[in-house]
């Protein structure tokens, strides 16, 4: 990814900071402007027969990863960027996309066990995850560090996490990143990182507020939003790390679903319905130009 693109992501996240979770019930969305009966029939024909019969794509989600996917005030309905993307895809594919709340670390196993068909859960398209999966990429983000308001420990870089209590969400790449950083610390004669692992971002972020941890490593979009909502109790450092593409994982044994999702997503982009979703959530630079498969290096 280019430095210019990374700069755009940083700019969008800066704007976010300055401006301001079983199956779940889903909100009905207005018809997407670019979807027609003809285009819906075309994309629906690409779907696997089992999904045509059931009328539903089961997509793993979470519910605690605002603004990407989180529970509305009713505690049941998942809203956010990925719900809006699902609504746009529904109009093209002619089937419902059911967002199923589940722990992140069980999603890939759930796909292999046929509990889900895909996932809309801000999952990084990493090579290590492509052994059995292909990814239909729909956005981009980076890695960020959040700390207590005022940054009392003066944390600025990953190296400053040596000897600190740092939270991450189980199953995401950030846990492995922290363990790698801890090894780097000890090899340099410094104290190890005390890695605290939680099942969701809300709990991980709250650990900073309550003083249980000194920092959090996580998705920059998500922790920036959490920092905004904390009203100064938590802040995100300006430096961004490891820009990456996020996508919908699909089993390699299910190329029909992969290709249907990719083509329908490209139509969302081409029709003009895609960019407004990201703009609605104040994240225009997290949008990408093309619906690609396995795009991350």
DSSP conformation letters of 95-131 = SEEEEEE--GGGHHHHHHTTS-SEE-S-EE--GGGTT
Q: 19 pLDDT band (50/70/90 cuts)?
A: very low
pLDDT tens per residue across span 225-263: 888 889 999 999 987 787 889 999 999 999 999 999 999
Angle, vertex CA 163, rays to CA 201 and CA 105, nearest 5:
30
Check residue 34 and give its pLDDT.
57
Check residue 36 and give its pLDDT.
64
Identify the sign of the CA torsion 145, 151, 152, 154: positive
In the predicted model, what is the mean pLDDT of the chain? 88
CA distance 149 to 160: 16
Q: What's the mean pLDDT in 117-143? A: 95
Give Dmax (Cα) for the chain.
Answer: 65
Check residue 23 and give its pLDDT.
36
Identify the sign of the CA torsion 267, 270, 272, 275: positive
Check residue 137 and give its pLDDT.
98
Domains of the chain: 3-141+244-286 (3.40.190.10), 143-242 (3.40.190.10)
The residues, ordered by sequence, that sit 6+ positions from 107 with a Cβ below 8 Å of its Cβ are 60, 116, 119, 121, 123, 171, 249
pLDDT tens per residue across span 263-292: 999 999 999 999 999 999 988 889 999 999
**What percent of the chain stands above pLDDT 70?**
87
Q: 35 pLDDT band (50/70/90 cuts)?
A: low
CA distance 54 to 91: 16
CA distance 113 to 197: 25
Which two structure tokens, joined as six digits, stand for 116? 């889900």
Q: What's the mean pLDDT in 190-197? A: 98
DSSP characters for 45-57? TTS-HHHHHH-EE
Q: Is the pLDDT of residue 14 over 90?
A: no
Q: 111 pLDDT band (50/70/90 cuts)?
A: very high
What is the pTM (predicted TM-score) of this model? 0.77
Q: Listing from the earlier edge strand, what are the strands of the sheet with 96-101? A: 96-101, 56-61, 118-119
């Amino acid at each position: 990814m280019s430095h210019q693109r990374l700069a755009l992501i940083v700019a969008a996240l800066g704007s976010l900071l300055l401006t301001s979770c079983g199956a779940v019930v889903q909100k009905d969305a207005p018809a997407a402007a670019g979807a027609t009966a003809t285009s819906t029939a075309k994309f629906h024909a690409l779907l696997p027969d089992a999904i045509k019969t059931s009328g539903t794509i089961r997509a793993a989600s979470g519910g605690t990863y605002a603004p990407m996917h989180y529970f509305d005030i009713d505690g049941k309905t998942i809203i956010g960027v990925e719900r809006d993307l699902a609504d746009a895809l529904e109009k093209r594919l002619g089937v419902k996309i059911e967002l199923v709340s589940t722990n992140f670390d069980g999603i890939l196993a759930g796909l292999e066990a046929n509990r889900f068909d895909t996932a809309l859960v801000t999952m990084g398209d990493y090579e290590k995850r492509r052994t059995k999966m292909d990814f239909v990429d729909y956005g981009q983000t980076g890695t960020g560090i959040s700390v207590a308001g005022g940054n009392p420990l003066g944390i600025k870089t990953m190296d400053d996490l040596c000897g600190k209590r740092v939270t991450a969400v189980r199953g995401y790449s950030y846990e492995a990143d922290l363990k790698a950083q801890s090894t780097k610390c000890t090899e340099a004669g410094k104290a190890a990182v005390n890695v605290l692992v939680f099942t969701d971002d809300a709990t991980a972020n709250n650990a900073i507020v309550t003083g249980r941890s000194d920092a959090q490593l996580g998705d920059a979009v998500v922790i920036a939003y959490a920092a905004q909502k904390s009203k100064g109790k938590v802040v995100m450092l300006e430096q961004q790390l490891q820009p990456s593409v996020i996508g919908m994982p699909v089993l390699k044994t299910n190329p029909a679903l992969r290709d249907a999702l990719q083509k329908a997503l490209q139509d969302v982009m081409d029709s003009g319905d895609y960019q407004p979703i990201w703009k609605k959530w104040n994240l225009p630079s997290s949008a990408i130009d093309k619906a690609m498969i396995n795009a991350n290096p």
